C-alpha cells in the first residue's frame, strides 16, 4: 500500500487503533533475521477454468508473475462444498467430523436462535494457534469461524469484519471483533470508509449509468441486485485487503493468512452473465453485467500483487489457495443461483486451485493434483511446525520446507496448541440483528431456505446443543460421499431430530438409504422431502423413476418398486397429472393394463385434448382385448395430431387383427 495511503489511515484512526495496529516501531525494510515466513491469500471458489483464460488474455498480470517463478496444482475439495467447512479444514488439516465447523450457522446456547457459525464450534486448533504457541508471530484476517477473535501471538481480525455478511450498524456493535481488542475501532473505520465503493469504481466493470447506480443503491436490494451486489463484494475485498496490508506492514508476522470471499460471491451473483451468453439472459443484461466477473478478478489480482510483492521482498513463501472450483462454462445452471435454495452448491465443482512461489518451492510447469487436506500439513512443514498424526493429508511435494527449516517431530496439535478466545457474554438485540442479517445473506446466496431459517430446534431441552440440522446433515453428506453410508444415515437422523421437516435432510437420507438398497425406506424419505418443500420435486421424482428403470434388466423387483414408489407419490399429490401419467405408464409397462386404463381414462376425461393420454388409454384397452375402443381412440388421436407414424402403424395392426404390443 502506498505510504501516503498508510499515513491517511493512521491520521484517521483513534488513538487505541493507532497504538495497536500502526505501531511506529515497525518499518517497511525487510526483516533482519530470515526466519521461515509464509504469506497466504485465500480466494474462495477460484477455478482454473476461469483463471487460465484470464491469464492467457493478460488480465491477471500479478498472478502470472507468481506462476512464472513458482508452480500450481489442482486442489481437490470435498462434498458438501460449503465454505466454512472447507476453509476450516484448510486451517486445521482435519475433516468437518473432527473440526466441528459443519454449517454456515450454529444455535446460540441460551436462546437456541440461529446465529452465524463461530469459532466456538471449532473443536481443534488451527495452524495460527500452534504457531502462536511455538512463538511464531501470526496475522489472520477474515477467516471463516474466527469470531470471537482468538488471542494469538500477533493479530486476528475475525470474519465479522466482512461487510458482505453484516450491515455496518450490526458490525459496529459486534464485540470481540479483533485481537488485540484495540484493533476493533480501527477495523470499523476501515469498513466504513472502504466498504461502499463509489459509482466510478463500480462502473469500471458494470455498464450502468450514474442514475441506474443511484437508483440501485436507493432501492437497497443488496445481493439480489447485480449493481449493489458488485458494490458490496468489491467493498468487502477492499476492506480485507487494506486491513491485511496495513497490519502486515506494521507487524510483519511470520505467518499471514488473509481470506477473500468475493471471488466466490461474484460468481453467485454474476456468473450467469459471464460470456458466452446463456439463453436465459437478456441482451440488455448481458451488455450491462457481462464484464463484471473479469473486472472483479482484475481487482483481486491487483490486491494479490500487493501481498505477493511483500512476500518476495521479505523472503516469504507466497501461497494462493481456493476451497473449491466454480462452473463458468456451458455447465452453468440455467437459473439464478442467488434466489433459489440449493442452487448455490450446484454452481460449485470439486477442483480448486493452489499456487506457490518463493523459498521451498520447486518451480514447475506441470500442474499436479493435491487435496485441501494437504494445505495445513504443508504450512506446518514450511514453518517448521510438527505434523499431527491425525492429519489425513500430507505436505505437498515440491512445496517446502524452506532452506534451513528443520522438520519437527510429529505431535498432536490438540495437545501442543492453546486456543483462547475473547469472552462474549449474553445475546443482546445487536447480536440478534447481526444473526438475522447473516441469515438473509445465506438465503440470497441460495444456501438456505426461508422455511429452514425459521425452523426451531425440535430437540427437548435436555438434549439441545449448538448444532443446526444443517451441521449434522453436512457431516452425513461428507461421510456418504466418502463411502461411509451407514455412518452417514446416523448423522442424517440426528439432523431430523433438530428439524423433522428439513426437505434436504429427508432427501439426503433417501439417497443414502437407496445406496444401501433399502428401497422402501428410501422412497418414504423422498416423499417426505417433497411434502416438506423440496426445491425441485418433479425432477426428484423422475430421477428416482429413471434410476429404477435403469435396473429393470438386472433386478426384476425394480419394476414393482417403481410402481410402489409412484403410487405413494400420487397418493401424496393426487392433483399432479404428470405423476399420475407416469404411474399409468408403469402400470402398462408392468402388464397391469386394467390399472393403466383406470388412470388414463380419468386423465382423458379431464384433458380430452391430451394426445399422449389418449394413446396410452388406447394401448391399455387393446391390451385387454378391446380393439374397437382402441381403434376409435387412435383415430381420435390422429385427428388431433396427424403426424404420428407409430400410431398409424398401430391402427393398421388393429385393422389386420394384430395383437397388442
The 3-state secondary structure of 208-261 reads: CCHHHHHHHHHHCCHHHCHHHHHHHHHHHHHHHHHHHHHHHHHHCCCEEEEEEC
pLDDT at 448: 64
Distance CA 61, CA 58 (A): 6
Whether pLDDT at 70 is above 90 = yes
Predicted confidence at residue 553, as pLDDT, reads: 85
Whether 457 has a pLDDT exceeding 90, the answer reads no
Kindly tell me the sign of the dihedral angle through the C-alpha atoms of 438, 444, 447, 450.
positive
What percent of the chain stands above pLDDT 90?
76
In whole angstroms, what is the distance from residue 61 CA to residue 24 CA? Answer: 33
For residue 14, is pLDDT > 70?
Answer: no
Cα dist from 509 to 256, 489, 495, whole Å: 40, 6, 10
Q: Nearest to residue 86, comparing CAs of 23, 128, 145? A: 145
- Predicted local confidence at residue 403, as pLDDT: 85
The cell numbers describing 211, all together, are: 442514475
pLDDT of 574 strictly over 70: yes
**Residue-wise over 144-166: b if at least 16 C-beta within 10 A, else e?**
bbbbbbbbbbbbbbbbbbbbbbb
- What's the pLDDT score for residue 325? 95
Q: Name the nearest CA neighbour of 131 among 146, 151, 153, 103.
A: 153
Quick one: DSSP state of residue 164? T
Q: Is pLDDT at 427 greater than 80 in this prediction?
A: no
- Confidence check: pLDDT of 65 > 80: yes
Assign 343 a pLDDT band (cuts: 50, 70, 90). low
pLDDT of 63: 98
The pLDDT assigned to 15 comes to 46
Q: Which of 195-209, 453-467, 508-522 has the lowest mean pLDDT?
A: 453-467
The structural domains of the chain, ordered by start, are 38-416 (3.40.720.10), 456-656 (1.25.40.10)
Q: What is the mean pLDDT of residues 185-194?
A: 91
Please state which of the ranges 109-113, 133-137, 232-236, 348-352 shows the lowest mean pLDDT: 109-113
Beta bridge partners of 73: 354, 368
Q: What local confidence, expressed as pLDDT, does residue 2 receive?
A: 39
Q: Is 50 exceeded by the pLDDT of residue 9?
A: no
More confident residue, 435 or 86: 86
Q: What is the pLDDT of residue 657?
A: 86
CB 376 within 8 A of CB 92: yes
The reported pLDDT for the residue numbered 661 is 78
Torsion angle in degrees (nearest 10) through CA of 282, 283, 288, 294: 90
* The pLDDT of residue 89 is above 80: yes
Answer with the residue of higher pLDDT: 436 or 357.
357
Q: What is the 3-state secondary structure (H, E, C) of 69-134?
A: HEEEEEEECCCCCCHHHHHHHHHHCCCHHHHCCCCCEEECCCCCCEEECCHHHCCCCCHHHHHHHC
Lowest mean pLDDT among 144-148, 444-448, 502-506: 444-448
For residue 413, CA distances in Å to 408, 417, 604 come to: 12, 6, 69
Q: In percent, how much of the chain has pLDDT > 70?
A: 88
In this predicted model, what pLDDT tens digit does every residue of 582-593 receive, in sequence order? 999 999 999 999
| Per-residue DSSP letter, 185 | H
pLDDT over 70 at 84, yes or no: yes
The pLDDT of residue 112 is 78
Q: How many CA atoms lie within 13 A of 223 on its CB side?
A: 27
The mean predicted confidence, pLDDT, of the chain is 90
> Tell me, what's the pLDDT at 169?
61
Average pLDDT over residues 126-153: 97
Quick check: helix, strand or coil at residue 270?
Answer: helix
The residues facing 649 across adjacent strands are: none
Report, as an integer, the average pLDDT of 326-332: 89
pLDDT digits (tens, 9 = 90+) for 364-384: 999 999 999 999 999 999 999
What is residue 172's predicted lDDT score, i.e. its pLDDT?
64
Give the C-alpha separation, 389 to 110, whole Å: 36
pLDDT band at 333 (very low <50, low <70, confident <90, very high): confident
Distance of alpha carbon 480 from alpha carbon 79, whole angstroms: 9
Cell 390422429 belongs to 638
pLDDT higher than 80, residue 596 = yes
- d(CA 275, CA 272) in angstroms, rounded, equals 8
Lowest mean pLDDT of 62-76, 329-343, 566-580, name the range: 329-343
Q: The whole model's pTM is what? A: 0.89
How far is the C-alpha of 281 from the C-alpha of 295, rounded, in Å? 19
Helix ranges restricted to H, 292-333: 292-313
Residue 397 has pLDDT above 90, yes or no: yes
Residue predicted with more confidence, 175 or 168: 175
CB neighbours (10 Å) of residue 5? 12
Q: How confident is the model at residue 311 (pLDDT cuts 50, 70, 90)?
A: very high
User: What's the pLDDT score for residue 113?
Assistant: 82
Count other C-beta atoms under 10 Å from residue 657's C-beta.
7
Three-state SS string over 396-435 comes to CCCECCCCCCCCCCCCCHHHHCCCCECCCCCCCHHHHHHH
Of the listed ranges 331-335, 477-481, 614-618, the one predicted with least confidence: 331-335
Please report the pLDDT score of residue 171 as a whole number. Answer: 64
pLDDT of 334 > 90? The answer is no
**Contact indicator for 22, 10 with CB cutoff of 8 Å:** yes
pLDDT score for 222: 87
What is the chain's alpha carbon radius of gyration, rounded to the nearest angstrom? 29
Q: Is the pLDDT of residue 225 over 90?
A: yes
Q: Is the pLDDT of residue 131 over 50?
A: yes
Residue 47: predicted pLDDT: 95
Quick check: 315 pLDDT over 70?
yes
Span of 328-332, 441-445, 582-586 with lowest mean pLDDT: 441-445
Amino acid at each position: 500500500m502506498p505510504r501516503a495511503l498508510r499515513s491517511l489511515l493512521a491520521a484517521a484512526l483513534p488513538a487505541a487503533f493507532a497504538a495497536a495496529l500502526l505501531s511506529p516501531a515497525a518499518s517497511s525494510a525487510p526483516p533482519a533475521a530470515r526466519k521461515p515466513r509464509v504469506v497466504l491469500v485465500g480466494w474462495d471458489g477460484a477455478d482454473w477454468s476461469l483463471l487460465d483464460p484470464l491469464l492467457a488474455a493478460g488480465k491477471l498480470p500479478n498472478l502470472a508473475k507468481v506462476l512464472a517463478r513458482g508452480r500450481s496444482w489442482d486442489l481437490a475439495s470435498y462434498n458438501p462444498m460449503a465454505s466454512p467447512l472447507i476453509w476450516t479444514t484448510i486451517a486445521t488439516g482435519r475433516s468437518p467430523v473432527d473440526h466441528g465447523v459443519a454449517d454456515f450457522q450454529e444455535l446460540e446456547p441460551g436462546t437456541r436462535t440461529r446465529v452465524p457459525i463461530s469459532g466456538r464450534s471449532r473443536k481443534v486448533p488451527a495452524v495460527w494457534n500452534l504457531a502462536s504457541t511455538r512463538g511464531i508471530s501470526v496475522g489472520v484476517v477474515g477467516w471463516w469461524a474466527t469470531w470471537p477473535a482468538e488471542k494469538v501471538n500477533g493479530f486476528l481480525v475475525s470474519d465479522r469484519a466482512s461487510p458482505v455478511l453484516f450491515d455496518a450498524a450490526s458490525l459496529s456493535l459486534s464485540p470481540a471483533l479483533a485481537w488485540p481488542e484495540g484493533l476493533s475501532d480501527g477495523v470499523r473505520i476501515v469498513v466504513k470508509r472502504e466498504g461502499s465503493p463509489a459509482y466510478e469504481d463500480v462502473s469500471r466493470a458494470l455498464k450502468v449509468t450514474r442514475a441506474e447506480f443511484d437508483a440501485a443503491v436507493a432501492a437497497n436490494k443488496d445481493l439480489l441486485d447485480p449493481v449493489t451486489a458488485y458494490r458490496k463484494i468489491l467493498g468487502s475485498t477492499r476492506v480485507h485487503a487494506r486491513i491485511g496490508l496495513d497490519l502486515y506492514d506494521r507487524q510483519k508476522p511470520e505467518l499471514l493468512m488473509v481470506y477473500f470471499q468475493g471471488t466466490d460471491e461474484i460468481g453467485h451473483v454474476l456468473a450467469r452473465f459471464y460470456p458466452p451468453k446463456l439463453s436465459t439472459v437478456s441482451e440488455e443484461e448481458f451488455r450491462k453485467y457481462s464484464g463484471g466477473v473479469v473486472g472483479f478478478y482484475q481487482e483481486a489480482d491487483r490486491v494479490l500483487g500487493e501481498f505477493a510483492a511483500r512476500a518476495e521482498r521479505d523472503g516469504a513463501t507466497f501461497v494462493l489457495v481456493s476451497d473449491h472450483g466454480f462452473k463458468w462454462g456451458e455447465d452453468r445452471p440455467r437459473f439464478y443461483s442467488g434466489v433459489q435454495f440449493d442452487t448455490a452448491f450446484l454452481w460449485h465443482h470439486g477442483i480448486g486451485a493452489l499456487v506457490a512461489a518463493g523459498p521451498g518451492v520447486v518451480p514447475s510447469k506441470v500442474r499436479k493434483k493435491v487435496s485441501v487436506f494437504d494445505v495445513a500439513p504443508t504450512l506446518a512443514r514450511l514453518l517448521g511446525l510438527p505434523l499431527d498424526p491425525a492429519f489425513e493429508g500430507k505436505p505437498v511435494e515440491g512445496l517446502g520446507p524452506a532452506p534451513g527449516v528443520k522438520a519437527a517431530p510429529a505431535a498432536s496439535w490438540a495437545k501442543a496448541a492453546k486456543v483462547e478466545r475473547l469472552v462474549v457474554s449474553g445475546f443482546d438485540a445487536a447480536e440478534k440483528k447481526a444473526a438475522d442479517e447473516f441469515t438473509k445473506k445465506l438465503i440470497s446466496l441460495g444456501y438456505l431456505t426461508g422455511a429452514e431459517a425459521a425452523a426451531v430446534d425440535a430437540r427437548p431441552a435436555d438434549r439441545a446443543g449448538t448444532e443446526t440440522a444443517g451441521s449434522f446433515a453436512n457431516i452425513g453428506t461428507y461421510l456418504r460421499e466418502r463411502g461411509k453410508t451407514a455412518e452417514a444415515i446416523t448423522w442424517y437422523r440426528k439432523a431430523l431430530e433438530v428439524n423433522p421437516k428439513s426437505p434436504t435432510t429427508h432427501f439426503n437420507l433417501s439417497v443414502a438409504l437407496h445406496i444401501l438398497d433399502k428401497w422402501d425406506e428410501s422412497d418414504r424419505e423422498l416423499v417426505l422431502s417433497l411434502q416438506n418443500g423440496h426445491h425441485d420435486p418433479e425432477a426428484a421424482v423422475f430421477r428416482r423413476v429413471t434410476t429404477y428403470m435403469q435396473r429393470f434388466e438386472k433386478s426384476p423387483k425394480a419394476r414393482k418398486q417403481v410402481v410402489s414408489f409412484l403410487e405413494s407419490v400420487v397418493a401424496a399429490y393426487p392433483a399432479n397429472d404428470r405423476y399420475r401419467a407416469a404411474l399409468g405408464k408403469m402400470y402398462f409397462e408392468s402388464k397391469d393394463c386394467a390399472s393403466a386404463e383406470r388412470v388414463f381414462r380419468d386423465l382423458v376425461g379431464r384433458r380430452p385434448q391430451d394426445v399422449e393420454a389418449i394413446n396410452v388409454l388406447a394401448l391399455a384397452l387393446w391390451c385387454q382385448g378391446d380393439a374397437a375402443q382402441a381403434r376409435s381412440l387412435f383415430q381420435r388421436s390422429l385427428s388431433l395430431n396427424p403426424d404420428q407414424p407409430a400410431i398409424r402403424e398401430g391402427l393398421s395392426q388393429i385393422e389386420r387383427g394384430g395383437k397388442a404390443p
